[in-house]
Amino acid sequence: MGVLPGHMATIAELKPGVLSMHEGSDVKKYFLSSGFALIHANSVADIIAVEAVPIDQIDASLVHKGLAEFTQKLSSATTDLEKAEAQIGIDVHSALYSAITG
């Protein structure tokens, strides 16, 4: 989603993924685990994120390790809560992997 002048006021849920902030020719990229975007009619956006990490500070080896751990937890989960928690971990680590690999 892009926010330009004249954008309609919107509230949007953010799923795990990359937020690109453009200021002139400068672009900064962050990984967001989740949150909300509040877009105002004057093209200003407020981002409320649970967690935001600059892409260049993400350790690929930890992402691979986390994905493997949550995949294992999902395969051994016995309750709906355990399955849901493991699936959330897989979703976030899969999005992290996509963020660092482009």
Give this prediction's pTM. 0.72
Percent of all residues in the chain with a pLDDT value above 70, rounded to a whole number: 90
For residue 43, the model assigns a pLDDT of: 65
For residue 23, the model assigns a pLDDT of: 84
On whether residue 1 sits in a domain, the answer given is no
Query: Is the pLDDT confidence value at 1 over 90?
Result: no
Angle between helix 60-76 and helix 80-101 axes, rounded to 10 deg: 160
Strand order in the sheet with 35-39: 10-14, 35-39, 45-49
Total number of domains in the chain: 2
What whole-number distance in Å separates Cα of residue 63 and Cα of residue 52? Answer: 15
On whether both 67 and 95 belong to a single domain, the answer is yes
For residue 88, the model assigns a pLDDT of: 92
On whether residue 2 sits in a domain, the answer given is no
16-56: pLDDT as tens digits: 899 888 888 999 999 998 899 888 877 667 889 988 999 99
93-to-4, 30, 78, 98 alpha-carbon distances in Å: 30, 14, 21, 9
Domain range for 29 is 10-57
On whether both 49 and 76 belong to a single domain, the answer is no
What whole-number distance in Å separates Cα of residue 51 and Cα of residue 35? Answer: 8
